[in-house]
């Protein structure tokens, strides 16, 4: 069995000061960097995903035309090539082996909806690398981490969310997301990182 690490959307627009900032987003960026410094060699692949939305359209209704409802529609965020779409500078990406971009012209939450630099799906990439166990970290617990972890389980991967390396928009939906992942067969545990 090979294990991979999926780092979900640790981007400027989702950390402090961003368009859709998550409280403690910068802490997650720092924590993931520390974790990678100690554990990157334990993974067959380290994959980082990013929202990478089109700037010239509403991305399939993802960007609100008027007032966002923060459920299905959102303020403009993570537009391809902008500072907001860049990885948070506290997240050292030097150990990342593959990058996935999602939401290119469409609404997308799961990293499994994105593609790599070579056009491969995340599912195909993990299969090609023999990765059947996946640790998941990143932002936000109640949205893209949730969707990515559930899709990984549906993709027949063994999933573990590292609870000290995620942060959500709000406490109740974040707790509900972790419970949903657990109910679907995933595990939730601390990373053990210092």
Residue 144 bears catalytic tag: yes
From the list 13, 88, 101, 144, the catalytic residue is 144
140-168 as b/e, with b when 16 or more CB fall inside 10 Å?
Answer: bbbbbbbbbbbbbbebebbbbbbeebbbb
Report the chain's mean pLDDT, rounded to a whole number.
95
Query: Is the pTM value of this prediction over 0.85?
Result: yes
Residue 66 bears catalytic tag: no
pLDDT at 193: 62
CA end-to-end span of the chain, whole Å?
Answer: 26
From the list 13, 102, 142, 151, the catalytic residue is 102
What is the CATH classification number for the domain harbouring 164?
A: 3.40.50.850
**Domain-located, residue 194:** no
**Domain-located, residue 19:** yes
User: Looking at the predicted structure, is the pLDDT value of residue 172 above 60?
Assistant: yes
The mean-pLDDT minimum among 51-60, 81-90, 168-177 falls in 51-60
Distance (Å, whole) CA 94 – CA 170: 30
Q: Is 181 helix (H, G, I), strand (E, B) or coil?
A: helix
User: Looking at the predicted structure, is the pLDDT value of residue 192 above 80?
Assistant: no
**Domain-located, residue 109:** yes
Q: Is 37 helix (H, G, I), strand (E, B) or coil?
A: helix
User: Looking at the predicted structure, is the pLDDT value of residue 3 above 90?
Assistant: yes
What confidence category does residue 105 fall into, taking pLDDT thresholds of 50, 70 and 90? confident
Task: Check: CB of residue 149 under 8 Å from CB of residue 186.
Answer: yes
The count of domains in the chain is 1
The mean per-residue pLDDT over the stretch 71-99 comes to 95
- What is the extent of the structural domain holding 47? 2-189
Distances (CA, A) of 165 to 15, 25, 56: 13, 9, 33
From the list 9, 88, 135, 142, the catalytic residue is 9
**Domain-located, residue 43:** yes
pLDDT at 70: 86
Name the token pair of 127. 């299969």
User: Looking at the predicted structure, is the pLDDT value of residue 71 above 80?
Assistant: yes
User: Looking at the predicted structure, is the pLDDT value of residue 19 above 70?
Assistant: yes
Residue 128 bears catalytic tag: no
């Amino acid at each position: 069995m090979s294990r991979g690490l999926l780092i979900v959307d640790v981007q400027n627009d989702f950390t402090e000061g961003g368009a859709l900032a998550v409280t403690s987003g910068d802490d997650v960026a720092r924590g993931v960097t520390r974790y990678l410094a100690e554990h990157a060699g334990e993974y067959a692949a380290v994959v980082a995903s990013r929202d990478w939305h089109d700037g010239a359209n509403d991305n399939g209704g993802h960007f609100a035309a008027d007032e966002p409802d923060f459920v299905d529609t959102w303020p403009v965020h993570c537009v391809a090539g902008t500072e907001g779409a860049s990885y948070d500078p506290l997240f050292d990406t030097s150990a990342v082996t593959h990058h996935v971009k999602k939401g290119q012209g469409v609404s997308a939450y799961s990293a499994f909806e994105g593609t790599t630099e070579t056009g491969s799906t995340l599912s195909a990439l993990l299969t090609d690398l023999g990765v059947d166990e996946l640790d998941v970290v990143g932002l936000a617990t109640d949205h893209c981490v949730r969707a990515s972890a559930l899709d990984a389980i549906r993709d027949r991967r063994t999933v573990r969310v590292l609870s000290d390396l995620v942060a959500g928009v709000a406490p109740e939906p974040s707790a509900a997301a972790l419970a949903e992942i657990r109910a679907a067969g995933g595990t939730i545990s601390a990373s053990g990182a210092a």
